[in-house]
Structure 1
Amino acid sequence: MSADLLLVGTTVRTLDPARPTAHAVAVRDDRIIGLDDDALALRGTGTEVIDLGGAVTTPGLVDGHAHPLLGATSFVGLDLSSCRDLTDLRAVLAGAEPGVDGWVTGFGLDHNVFGGAPITNAVLDEVLPRLPVLVVLYDGHSALASSEALRRAGVSGPRRFEQRAEIVCDDAGRPTGLLLEHAAMGVVRDVVPPMPVAELRERLHAVLDGMAATGLTGATMMDAEGDALAALASAEEHGDLAVRLRVMPWCMPEDDLAAIDALQGRRGRRWAVGGVKFFIDGTVEGGTAWLEHADCHGQGVEAFWRDPAAYTRAVRHFAAARVQTATHAIGDAGVRHVVDSFAGVGTGGVRHRVEHLETLPLDDVRRLVDTGLVASMQPSHTGYTRADLTDEWATRLGADRAARAWVCRDVRDAGGVLVLGSDWPIAGYDAREVLGYARLRRRPGSTDAPVLPAQALTGAMALEGMTSHAAIADGASAEAGRVAVGCRADLTVFTVDPVDAPADEVAEAPIGLTVSGGRVTHRGEVTCPV
């Protein structure tokens, strides 16, 4: 039996305690079949041999929390992420070119643009009068709709939703344009002309190709709403997905649990449904994170589920069925409720997850770890706050809670499993940048002051968060997260050592090669076939 692919001229950080390093890897089909001399002996006439010229190979990187399809469909139009104030916003809006039926869409708008003032559609109506405009704020949990967009959606006042969502209105009951949480946003989003199927396929493939170029071999896709599974199947009809996707459809308060049960196990060649995504709260900036004590505006003291006990029953339903759950929980009260919901609950060996954990005291970190829950965090989200606490996120929380921000190191020091990801499109999907943020607690390549540097991870911990710990969380450590014979052939080749090289360099160094399930999904300039 000869290898399909043979990598030589490399130092391999295997993350396998039984064999920490190697210098050659042989792959056949989707499996690693040999290391070092055993690998070299498997070279055959049809083997593709790649000399990596001294580059460092690791287990394939996995983004623990991403929204590739949602990002491709909803974060479209004007890129507003560079706007720092209303003057910037007006300038970008002024360059808009209306699309189908006159719609203008945008994404990435920072709450801080409004300088602490109420967020309203006044600037949209000023710059783009009589046009339907829908802008998604960077957190993905809030949007801003122009008066014409609200009119087309039939929105003239407040509404009640099963989930904790709000069409924000002024004292006279008139909508301000601000839409909080998914149900409220969906009222307007549903009247925006849909993206053509061909364009969606192209955008999805482009996103996944881009992810592979940063070293990603897999990702946990934290949504599957509407026709999402059909869209994935359609995309696969036009080519393999560059990144393998584990899909976790949402479970909302109004959803039928049996319908979500029925989705489990649906799959394509490179994607499979395996788990359920919950929300117990929203975001700090939107005032919808569930906090032990109200934020500076008196908000944030309610759960996303109007009846939190119903959430508990729902996650225990899936736990009993040995279906993994992942719960979006940003505020300290939200995380605590998730931990309480799983305390003493038999899970059949499944590691249930808590996503984001933006502010959490050490005692609750220890409780989470003791309960066996996995912490899934996004280090690059620290880029949306400032070390001097002058941003909207920190201002809402106050200094004490802001001092417990994204406590990655506390989770690891407590012995917890910590999965790292990007939450794209909320932050960039570049895996190298995620690794850099995890070690620096600031944007790589910047001179920004780090946010709580004591929570920084070591290079080894950061790498584990996107490899071995991701595999533990998925219940796949027997076949993933390591470079070992019999494991799935997921490999990432760095042109610098991702553990020992300075984090700023890791974040910018080209990826030499990405192999996902034995298939080369990205080839960098440093690779040299022999």
Structure 2
Amino acid sequence: MSTPDLILHAGAIHTMLAEEAPATSLAIEGDTIVAVGDRDSIDALRGASTEVTDLGSAVLTPGMVDGHIHPVMGIAMTAGVDLSNVCDLDGFMAALQAAPVVDGWIRGWGLDPNTFGTRPVTNEPIHRAVGTDIPVAIVMFDAHALLASDAALAAAGVTGPRGFAGNSEIVCDDNGRPTGHLLEMEAMTIVQAIMPPDAPGARRRRLRELFESMAAVGITSGNAMDFEDDSAELMASLDSDDELAIRVRFAPFCFPGFGRDMLEHIVEQQKLGGRRWQVDGVKFMIDGTIDGGTAWLEEADTHGESTAPFWPEPAEYRAAVSFLASHGVPTVTHAIGDAGIRYALATLESAGPSRSGAHHRIEHIETLPDDLVGEFARIGVVASMQPTHCTHYTRADQSDNWSQRLGPQRAGRAWRTRDIRDTGATLALGSDWPIAPFDPRAIMADARLRRRAGHHDESPIVPEQALTARMALEGYTSHAAAAEGVLGRAGVLAPGARADIAAFAVDPLVAPPDEVADTPVVATVMGGSFTHRLEM
């Protein structure tokens, strides 16, 4: 063995191997771990040029891998006022009144439909707050709906209902007048397309800062579920200037109406990438959201909605999945409702495994019937889930919009993380940023608590679905790597693995989850280089 470039000493190391031996130190050469052991054995490898860093009592784990993020789409979405803490209409209107008007527009994001209580989601509170002359565009918390003022609708030429290739909708009242509520991307894009664009330099800066913020909480890699607009240019620029603080793996969208030329374009996109980013997958949506009434349920929700797939002809989704899988493209399918999950599972079973090594995935999986729980393990499909969607947007007493739409039985089978894990399936965890915060410490804590970390007064939501501490950590490390088909090269701390490392001030497998959520990340290493270092 040649001389290592970096040696790390710590209080303990969780290698996340199936059989772990006690270790407190590791050695790195280039971007690869070359040895793991005790302090004396690793110190014996040091040479004159070896950097030695003692992290004290910190506990090392593999770097955190977020299973689901929207970085490029997210920097545009979060350019306005943050409404994620608004909980009633008075608070919503006050936030709008205080919001800046930028380039003639008021923009906002993160608005929870529970803000409206039992009232329909319309633009009426916007007009009460700021009048009817200012164009206003508010992205709802799930990013599957937009609330636009009449001025914004008029600027976009929206005067009534329209037809779309997918299951999108311009919601109108009984007189055919738009209410301002635009459901799903095709409808939302009509308004978003006329909004003043962000300057390219500002977008690059915000994306760099986003990745740096992720590195500061232990993230070393993320699965980006889109590859739109200027994604390639932004990533190539950051990568060439050595300003990418995390690795990013992209999956471009595939929408209804995409013909053979677009499918072949997605195959060609798989060749794109750089040192720390790559295109490796494709993102489908078989349905929308329960909160917006656009999920695909086997029985209608209590509003009589969520009865149709996002693809009006689901067989076209199945054909597109089959084509791309046969060309070695790992597929990702957003499926939230029980009918959508069932159809996606059947589609992936018929398509067979991807030849790329990465596994097909289903994202979100919000309400899951008993007979489908074991299908993920049987078929070999990854379950990719976001625990904070449950803990942030639903309530144990089922008084929230999501639960009210589903009713007690279907709400009682919410986010069945533990049931899926217990079948032996691969379970990757993530945030879906900017839909929810990206801090893995809080997400892992919520996965164990089934309530928001730090909110001791809250009752757990379907508490039998709580993960153990190790299961939660595996969801961000070894299971995340297995989902990508790179377990061994990533997701563990062992010789030959990438030197992607998170150092926690407390042991995430021993400390209480509320404490884990608040513990400092002492350092983050990606590819053998520090991307974050806490000033002590």
Instruction: Report the TM-score range of the alignment, normalised by the length of the smaller protein.
Output: over 0.9
Q: 1:325 aligns with which of 331, 346, 368?
A: 331
Contact 1:33–1:39, Cα closer than 8 Å, also in 2: no
Deviations 1:22-81 (A, max 9, x none): 111111111001122553232122222111112110111100001111111112211111
In the TM superposition, 1:394-405 aligns within 5 A as: 394-405=403-414
Deviations 1:3-33 (A, max 9, x none): 1111013311101234443111111111001
- What is the match of residue 476 of structure 1? 486
Contact 1:57–1:491, Cα closer than 8 Å, also in 2: yes
- What is the match of residue 44 of structure 1? 47
Range that drifts further, 224-233 or 140-149: 224-233
Range that drifts further, 314-323 or 298-307: 314-323
Read off the aligned partner of 2:34 and give its amino acid letter.
Answer: I
Ranges in structure 1 where 5+ consecutive residues have no aligned partner: none
* Cα displacement (A) at 1:426: 0.4
Question: Take 2:371 and 2:507, find their aligned partners in 1: how far apart are those partners?
Answer: 35
- What is the match of residue 123 of structure 2? 121
Question: Take 2:395 and 2:482, find their aligned partners in 1: how far apart are those partners?
Answer: 32
- What is the match of residue 240 of structure 1? 243
Contact 1:351–1:475, Cα closer than 8 Å, also in 2: yes
Q: Is residue 375 from structure 1 mapped to residue 378 from structure 2 by the alignment?
A: no
SS in 2 for 1:322: coil
Distance 1:237 1:385, change over 3 A: same
Q: 1:415 aligns with which of 412, 415, 424?
A: 424
- What is the match of residue 459 of structure 2? 449
Question: Take 2:178 and 2:238, find their aligned partners in 1: how far apart are those partners?
Answer: 38
Question: Take 2:376 and 2:64, find their aligned partners in 1: how far apart are those partners?
Answer: 25
Deviations 1:290-324 (A, max 9, x none): 00100000000100001001101111112111211
* Cα displacement (A) at 1:205: 1.1
Contact 1:355–1:377, Cα closer than 8 Å, also in 2: yes
Question: Take 2:313 and 2:514, find their aligned partners in 1: how far apart are those partners?
Answer: 45
Question: Take 1:63 and 1:137, find their aligned partners in 2: how far apart are those partners?
Answer: 22
Aligned length: 525
In the TM superposition, 1:200-239 aligns within 5 A as: 200-239=203-242
Q: Is residue 80 from structure 1 mapped to residue 83 from structure 2 by the alignment?
A: yes
Read off the aligned partner of 1:357 and give its amino acid letter.
Answer: I
Question: Take 2:205 and 2:351, find their aligned partners in 1: how far apart are those partners?
Answer: 43
In the TM superposition, 1:241-390 aligns within 5 A as: 241-255=244-258, 256-347=262-353, 348=355, 350-382=358-390, 383-390=392-399
- What is the match of residue 33 of structure 2? 32
Read off the aligned partner of 2:236 and give its amino acid letter.
Answer: A
Contact 2:14–2:20, Cα closer than 8 Å, also in 1: no
Q: Is residue 505 from structure 1 mapped to residue 515 from structure 2 by the alignment?
A: yes
Question: Take 2:251 and 2:376, find their aligned partners in 1: how far apart are those partners?
Answer: 21
Question: Take 1:234 and 1:122, find their aligned partners in 2: how far apart are those partners?
Answer: 42
Deviations 1:78-114 (A, max 9, x none): 11112111111111111122111x1110001110111
Question: Take 2:484 and 2:531, find their aligned partners in 1: how far apart are those partners?
Answer: 22
Question: Take 1:450 and 1:355, find their aligned partners in 2: how far apart are those partners?
Answer: 23
Read off the aligned partner of 2:382 and give its amino acid letter.
Answer: V
SS in 2 for 1:21: coil
Read off the aligned partner of 2:468 and give its amino acid letter.
Answer: T
Distance 1:18 1:38, change over 3 A: farther
Q: How high is the TM-score relative to the length of structure 2?
A: 0.96
In the TM superposition, 1:180-219 aligns within 5 A as: 180-219=183-222
Read off the aligned partner of 1:43 and give its amino acid letter.
Answer: R
Q: 1:427 aligns with which of 432, 436, 442?
A: 436
Read off the aligned partner of 2:72 and give its amino acid letter.
Answer: L
Read off the aligned partner of 1:385 and give its amino acid letter.
Answer: T
Deviations 1:239-288 (A, max 9, x none): 42111101111111123111111100201221110000110001000000
Contact 1:5–1:27, Cα closer than 8 Å, also in 2: yes
Contact 1:8–1:50, Cα closer than 8 Å, also in 2: yes
Deviations 1:479-498 (A, max 9, x none): 01110001111111111111
Read off the aligned partner of 1:194 and give its amino acid letter.
Answer: P
SS in 1 for 2:525: strand
